[in-house]
A and B are shown apart, each in its own frame.
Chain A
Amino acid sequence: MKIVSNQGFVRPPWQRSVPWAMLAMVLVTGAACEQPTVPDYNNPSESQFVSISALSQVQALATGLLDGDRANIGSEIMYTETMGRDIYRLDNAEPRYIIELLGTSVDPSDFLGGSVWPYSTIHLADIMIKGSTAANASVLNDASKKAAIGFAQTMKALEYIRAIETRDSLGVPLGTDLAAGTLAPIRCKPAVLDGIVSILDSAAVSLSAGGSSFPFVLPSGFAGFTTPATFLTFNRALAAKVDIYRAFKSYAATKAVDQAALDAAVVALGKSFISTAPGQLDVGPTHLYSTATGEQVNVLYQAPASTIFRANPRVVSEAEAGDKRVAQNTTTGQLKSLSGVGSNVLLTTYASNTAPIPIITNKELILMRAEVQWGLGNLAGAMADVNLIRQTDAGLPPLTLTTSDAVLTQILKEKRYSLLFKSPAHWVDSRMFGRLVGDPPVGLGKERGFDPIAALPIPASEASGRNGVTACTP
């Protein structure tokens, strides 16, 4: 730019050269040098996993799936056992654990209404399935791919089970492998259960062709289930559970039982890790917890002296005298009250914040088999399993019950105590068999004057993205 003499400037401003030169400089320069591309310094990116290029990636995805479920299981047990009126979380800082879960309804816009909605884990399973499928054979051979896919599908089915257990008749979104940002339709419970079975069956096919080992390491909580073949027994245990849900899906309303589903459950249980051998009751995959960096702790544990986890006093009063399971899970302490409920029964199910939480155990399978036999009309067969649990797990004498209703009541009672604070079964089964409402033994009780809630709501955030339309389609 040349600075001309004074004379050159004596013109109106728009005729001067200097402003135009400056403007031109602005419009032209700057683009000369490139700005750096600043990466994400804090996290790996999803795009890195589109095609798995290293075993560490498939390990990371498998670990992430397990970690996702490890978080979901704690909330599911805590909330369903509260709605099932067996436990209280008496938290002064957060009274909603009581006033909503033991109230008229759960706020779909808060953390409770939004809980156990495990779709990020489901989407992660899809990433693992797609990434494994696309992996180069030098990284994952065909058997390893199938093993990885079978694992991911099984974990995905487990998350769907948690979703439908908590939402029941409201239905849940069911869709596989949709593009990010796409909404899966909300399907009603029968369709969802069918969908889960088909995911599990597809997983079983993949696992069967999955060779002798997984291309990743499973944590020691899965000891006994670490190969595709043994993991398949876990897959079948889940399939049996879903078959039972299918069999009794209309029972509460119509007393109808789907015999075909019960037959399928019998087959699935046969291929599961069910065992009546002594000392095998607690066999099953568990989630481990740890206080190490990056790990999760068991959220169902609090130090006994000040624990806010209490059992409903009826858990003790309604137990048979001498039931070992009461002493294993509870101890008496200081009374604590909040918002109209109180208890001096401290929950001691978990001994520390690193105590494992079982995903599904052999004793649950035995009691599931009792349900199946009951549904098939084999009351004696059902009572055999009930008495096995009574004698081994509860330290109680066997019973002889002959009416259908009494047998079912007893199955549910054994489930309640054997799986106390370890499973949503008490609430889920009571609902399934139409025994939610009313005082025991008909229903679950009426603490705070309200009947138990039948389902967590569809989260407000889910409804919001669907313009409020959440009705399920059959």
Chain B
Amino acid sequence: MFVPRILKVRRSSARFSSGSGLCRHGFAVVHLPLTEMAMSKLSYRAPVPFLLLVVGAHAAFAQRSVSGIVTVEGSGAPIAEANIVLQGTTAARTGTDGRFVLTRAPSAAFTILVRRIGFNQKTISVGASANDIRIALVQDVLKLQTQVVTGEATTIARRNLANDVAVVSAEDLTRTTTPTVEHALQGKIAGAEVTSNSGAPGGSLQVRLRGVASINASSSPLYVIDGAVVNNVTINSGLNALTGASSGVNSSSQDVGVNRIADINPNDIESIEVLKGPSASAIYGSEAANGVIIITTKRGQNGKTAFSLLQRVGTQEITKTLGARRFSLDSAIAYSAPFGANAATVSQWYQNTGGYVDWEKEVYGNHAPSTETALSVRGGALATTFFASGLLHHDAGIMYNTGYDKQSIRLNLNHLEGSKLTLGLSSDLIHTLTKRGFNGNTNRANISPYIVFAATPSFYDYRPVDGVYPVNPFTNSNPLQTMALLKDPEEVYRGIASTSGNYKFVSSDRNELSLQVNAGIDNFTQRANLFSPAELQFEGQDGLPGTTGDNTTQAVVGTYSASLVHKFTPASRSFVATTSAGYRGEYQRQTGINIVTQNLLADQPNVDRGSTVSLFEARNLVQNGSVYAQEELLALNERLLLTAGLLRERSTNDGDPNKFFTYPKASVSYRVPSFTSHVNEFKLRLAVGQTGNQPLYGMKFTPLAPTVYAGNNGVQLGTTLGDPVITPERQTEIEGGFDLDMFRGRVGLQVTGYQKRITDMILRQGLSPSTGYSTQYLNGGAMRNRGTEIGLTAIPFQTGTFTWNSHISFSRNVGVVERLPVPPFVVAGFGYGYGQGRIEVGQSPTQIVGWAPLTVGCPAFCGSLKYGDTEPRYSLGFSNDLQWGGVRLYGLIDSRQGMSNVDATHRKYDLLNTAADYPANIERQHHWTVDRFGEYIEDASFVKLRELTLSYTLPDRVAQRVVGSARSARLELSGRNLYTWTNYWGLDPEVSNFGNQNILRNQDLYPYPPSRSIAFTLAVEF
């Protein structure tokens, strides 16, 4: 009877530790004054260890020092970052050597709880005379004991959970240098497709969980850090002023901006939970349609202040180049003649360049060092603990004059006031500077290096003579000149703060009632300054030489919530029932002002120093409010978990801002007792849930577009007919599966199947433009995703000091449009000639459609045909981790198979006869221009070696001798995106010219090429 009771205490401890990330002291419940009745029951029932615990609590301040080491059972490798919990608070944390010191341990015998994500927690009794203890933790390869968020203020151990919630620990996140959080998730989660939009430094990745969840509403998952929603919006930089990729000069999604979760320092993260669908995430309402990514940052501990320093130095190189056609002198002269270059000029170029220069390397050949310095300090005394960190991160881009700098400072504080009130604060100040260079689609002039390389034969000499860049006669820019003179820095200043308070009204053996309050603010200003001086070759073309831009956006997201949590345990201890209810509100505001000035006065970069000034302002405001109630029942010896919840939500983005939409959820899981000797546990689970996907700001309005003619204000029809009664989309998910825990935790298998149906879809229907409008918003239709996710985790080999961990994740999702209230419509791309999205019943929403081949009866434009899909047929992640004493080798392979890209880059090389395999391009061109066979919709399957790390933890004595007062030191050599196996012609199968999109992805137009990076790391603990 006692054991489950202790477990109960542990559960409650862990529950508050990661519920919001702000309240780590739930364990304090044990030494709270107990009601007299409860105490009397305890005193006659509780066996000795529990008494010790209680006694220990009262004897807390009789001092002695106890040290110890936490290691992996089997290999004996030290475990860093393990929490030593004494009397409900984290009293110490282990360093990279696995060692810890409890400076204020009670003099009597006491009990500690040792916890670490990825290991089974363990309770240890420390005798009155013990002062050096060894603790071996069994790897929780299956992460069964990790606490997972189930509501605004509640969590539960993953072993009981009815959903397949992925948990990624700090260790898994930072094995290699990771510019942004999303990079660190690539390949690690079944069902999460994390794709780079380009190779440019600083981020821009899309996380797609369980397929496409919407066609026209948001595509971003919801990010929650320490209980507060953080902004993941993408603000476009404004390069469109030069590219004209989208009409006008205002910024466009073809600028491929950075989605702002990139600002977070990955080193600050303790763990990430990924709620993939509505059945798990329903509590977050209509912003959770694309899943929820819950990030918990590191917290402090009692005891000696610990310093941790990490220094990385690395470099990067282009992973793939496209090459170019090699010309003979005769063919060079022939090729150049139509461009007005005479034979003598061509001969001179040919002589200068030797007929061929790998210009890609001249532009994308930067090997400048990338560095990262991360320092963190954690400590605390008695009731107050802190974690502070600082980061200096610099990525040099492979393109000269590009790069990414990030500095951040974090301070996390926790305070336990008396026995009832817990306060927490997380604060993060961030500065980033991103220089991404000029890449991507261009229409106004050919500026991106790859479009210039496609348009210019390889014998041409771009190099400056006496500081003067030659005028490229083949097209309208010189990439060496552009790279040297064009500036496009994007700077972000950001502050994120969240606070939490937890007050326990009642805390008895049977009843706990607490109020949890959270509030957070995320505020940033992003400023993109574009400067393109008049001397750039393309600048004079529009008659307005010189362009400068200032695109400044200020965005704030505020969240606040209050929840009551009641936990009830009957005297019989036959179940635990947790009831929670609360209110959650959110406020989002964004104001962006973009100024583009052309025809500059003497290259003055100020926006008021040009003759043509274009101004754009976009504002929005969203307020959401939701109330929820939830009941969790854990019964049958913690084998059965029943959950039911209800959320009602309203948003100002809906047609009726006061109408509540109700989203229920329910789940059941049952852990079947062991039925064979090899299977320790078999869990069956089933969860259903609903969530919404709220309309975006402005979808309910029919705007008129402002214009000016001869100084008079005018109005034009807007392109879109709004829907004044628009409602959120509704997603209904059923998820079921089983988890197997075999061979004493050495093999774990999770199999999950799901079906997600999206109804009342928000559609941006194409209208016949003769109505006056080209598109219209409306609700209707249905779409379905069905998929399978399999996770297999194993320790195939474990002996003595050697351990081999292996993990495979497999996922497959198939989406289909079930019905539409409107005729099939196109999600704008570049026309069927290239391949674009088309939404039609019975087809995948992510299909890529091109013109069907010509037939005898049809000489041109013969209907559409599916040539590919942007969604992979399946994704596979495979990681292996080998440890031998202090040596560790880790590798991660990420593979996606069966998706296609629209490779317009290839088309351009072929069109202009500059592809390396000339004249093979002629036949492909023939297909494309005459037969329209979808020639450039190409298979983009890949296998990537994402991460590879070799590390060595120095023996303590060596560490202390080499690095002064260090407690431990680790050396590491790591690489990222080291190798890609693919048949794709273009630079990188991971590409999206339009940035983060639901449908219009996988468009390849002259992107920033991919790179591999390697880094050497020294990590020291003081």
Taken residue by residue from 35 to 78, chain A's Cβ proximity to chain B (1 for < 8 Å, 0 otherwise) reads as 11110111111111100000010011111111110100000000
- CB neighbours (8 Å) of B540 from chain A are 303, 305-306
* CB–CB B826/A461 < 8 A: yes
* CB–CB A6/B709 < 8 A: no
Q: Which of B541, B615, B698, B712 contacts A59 (CB 8 A)?
A: B712
* CB–CB A220/B769 < 8 A: no
Closest to B455 in A: A92
B855 at interface by CB-CB < 8 Å: no
- CB neighbours (8 Å) of A67 from chain B are 707-709, 714, 716
Most A Cβ at <10 Å: residue of B445, B566, B580: B566
Closest to A287 in B: B709
Taken residue by residue from 516 to 550, chain B's Cβ proximity to chain A (1 for < 8 Å, 0 otherwise) reads as 00000000000000000000010011111000000
Q: How far is the CA of A347 from the CA of B783 in the complex (A)?
A: 52
- CB neighbours (8 Å) of B912 from chain A are 92
B442 at interface by CB-CB < 8 Å: yes
- CB neighbours (8 Å) of B707 from chain A are 63-64, 67, 294
Given contacts A92-B476, A107-B833, A336-B339, contact A35 B769 (CB under 8 A): no
* CB–CB B770/A119 < 8 A: yes
CB A54 to nearest CB in B, in angstroms, measures 12
Q: How far is the CA of A117 from the CA of B626 in the complex (A)?
A: 45
Q: How far is the CA of A183 from the CA of B773 in the complex (A)?
A: 11
B859 at interface by CB-CB < 8 Å: yes
Q: How far is the CA of A64 from the CA of B473 in the complex (A)?
A: 40
* CB–CB B338/A46 < 8 A: no
Report the number of A-B residue pairs with Cβ-Cβ less than 8 Å: 342
Q: How far is the CA of A342 from the CA of B620 in the complex (A)?
A: 49
- CB neighbours (8 Å) of B413 from chain A are none
Q: Which B759-780 residues have C-beta < 8 A from chain A?
A: 766-774, 776
B929 at interface by CB-CB < 8 Å: yes
- Chain A to chain B: the 3 pairs with minimum beta-carbon distance, closest first: A123-B772, A63-B714, A465-B768
CB A15 to nearest CB in B, in angstroms, measures 11
Given contacts A23-B629, A291-B599, A295-B709, contact A336 B652 (CB under 8 A): no
Closest to A108 in B: B861
Q: How far is the CA of A457 from the CA of B623 in the complex (A)?
A: 45
- CB neighbours (8 Å) of B826 from chain A are 109, 460-461, 464
- CB neighbours (8 Å) of B475 from chain A are 92
* CB–CB A30/B770 < 8 A: no
Given contacts A109-B831, A109-B832, contact A6 B771 (CB under 8 A): no
* CB–CB B543/A306 < 8 A: no
B633 at interface by CB-CB < 8 Å: yes
Identify 18 new A-B residue pairs, CB closer than 8 A, beyond the known A306-B537, A459-B769: A13-B577, A19-B631, A45-B703, A46-B703, A61-B715, A63-B714, A120-B772, A127-B717, A173-B768, A181-B773, A181-B776, A184-B770, A337-B339, A461-B826, A463-B768, A464-B825, A464-B826, A465-B768
- CB neighbours (8 Å) of B698 from chain A are 40, 42
- CB neighbours (8 Å) of A59 from chain B are 712-714
CB B346 to nearest CB in A, in angstroms, measures 14
- CB neighbours (8 Å) of B617 from chain A are 42
B706 at interface by CB-CB < 8 Å: yes
A277 at interface by CB-CB < 8 Å: no
* CB–CB A104/B627 < 8 A: no
Q: How far is the CA of A293 from the CA of B705 in the complex (A)?
A: 14
Q: Which of B443, B652, B660, B776 contacts A31 (CB 8 A)?
A: B660
One of A93-101, A362-370, A397-405 at the interface: A93-101
Closest to B928 in A: A99
Q: Which B658-714 residues have C-beta < 8 A from chain A?
A: 658, 660, 697-698, 701-714
- CB neighbours (8 Å) of A111 from chain B are 831
* CB–CB B621/A38 < 8 A: yes
Q: How far is the CA of A38 from the CA of B721 in the complex (A)?
A: 18
One of B169-177, B507-515, B1010-1018 at the interface: B507-515
CB B763 to nearest CB in A, in angstroms, measures 13
Q: How far is the CA of A48 from the CA of B317 in the complex (A)?
A: 57
Q: Which of B544, B633, B768, B851 contacts A462 (CB 8 A)?
A: B768
- CB neighbours (8 Å) of A48 from chain B are 704
* CB–CB B583/A29 < 8 A: yes
A302 at interface by CB-CB < 8 Å: yes
- CB neighbours (8 Å) of A41 from chain B are 619-621
A314 at interface by CB-CB < 8 Å: no
* CB–CB A181/B767 < 8 A: yes
* CB–CB A291/B768 < 8 A: no
CB B960 to nearest CB in A, in angstroms, measures 55
* CB–CB B568/A464 < 8 A: no
- CB neighbours (8 Å) of B711 from chain A are 292
* CB–CB B625/A294 < 8 A: no
* CB–CB A6/B629 < 8 A: no
* CB–CB B619/A30 < 8 A: no
CB A301 to nearest CB in B, in angstroms, measures 6
- CB neighbours (8 Å) of B706 from chain A are 43-44, 294
Q: Which of A119, A290, A306 contacts B710 (CB 8 A)?
A: A290
Q: How far is the CA of A221 from the CA of B710 in the complex (A)?
A: 9
* CB–CB B861/A34 < 8 A: no
Q: How far is the CA of A99 from the CA of B505 in the complex (A)?
A: 76
* CB–CB A94/B443 < 8 A: yes
- CB neighbours (8 Å) of B823 from chain A are 464-465, 467
B895 at interface by CB-CB < 8 Å: no
- CB neighbours (8 Å) of B35 from chain A are 6
Given contacts A40-B698, A44-B704, A221-B710, contact A122 B772 (CB under 8 A): yes
A254 at interface by CB-CB < 8 Å: no
Q: How far is the CA of A462 from the CA of B823 in the complex (A)?
A: 11
Most A Cβ at <10 Å: residue of B710, B711, B773, B832: B710
B800 at interface by CB-CB < 8 Å: no
CB B902 to nearest CB in A, in angstroms, measures 14
Q: How far is the CA of A305 from the CA of B474 in the complex (A)?
A: 14
Q: Which A314-352 residues have C-beta < 8 A from chain B?
A: 334-337, 339, 342, 344, 352
Taken residue by residue from 223 to 238, chain A's Cβ proximity to chain B (1 for < 8 Å, 0 otherwise) reads as 0000000000000000
- CB neighbours (8 Å) of B577 from chain A are 13, 16, 19
Q: How far is the CA of A3 from the CA of B507 in the complex (A)?
A: 12
* CB–CB B657/A63 < 8 A: no
CB B526 to nearest CB in A, in angstroms, measures 19
One of B483-491, B606-614, B866-874, B992-1000 at the interface: B606-614
B570 at interface by CB-CB < 8 Å: yes
Q: Which A166-194 residues have C-beta < 8 A from chain B?
A: 172-173, 178, 180-184
CB A315 to nearest CB in B, in angstroms, measures 18
- CB neighbours (8 Å) of A62 from chain B are 714
Given contacts A37-B652, A67-B707, contact A22 B660 (CB under 8 A): no
Q: Which A21-35 residues have C-beta < 8 A from chain B?
A: 22-23, 25-27, 29-31, 34-35
Q: Which A81-124 residues have C-beta < 8 A from chain B?
A: 92-96, 99, 103-105, 107-111, 113-114, 117, 119-124
Q: How far is the CA of A217 from the CA of B712 in the complex (A)?
A: 8
* CB–CB A49/B708 < 8 A: no
B232 at interface by CB-CB < 8 Å: no
- CB neighbours (8 Å) of A23 from chain B are 581, 629, 646
* CB–CB B715/A120 < 8 A: no
- CB neighbours (8 Å) of B337 from chain A are 335
* CB–CB A38/B652 < 8 A: yes
Q: Which of B446, B653, B709 contacts A93 (CB 8 A)?
A: B446
* CB–CB A293/B613 < 8 A: yes
Most A Cβ at <10 Å: residue of B476, B542, B705, B709: B709
* CB–CB B766/A464 < 8 A: yes
Q: How far is the CA of A461 from the CA of B769 in the complex (A)?
A: 7
A10 at interface by CB-CB < 8 Å: yes
* CB–CB A173/B770 < 8 A: yes
B344 at interface by CB-CB < 8 Å: no
A441 at interface by CB-CB < 8 Å: no
Most A Cβ at <10 Å: residue of B508, B543, B708: B543
Q: How far is the CA of A119 from the CA of B716 in the complex (A)?
A: 11
- CB neighbours (8 Å) of A27 from chain B are 627, 629, 646, 648
A444 at interface by CB-CB < 8 Å: no
B618 at interface by CB-CB < 8 Å: yes
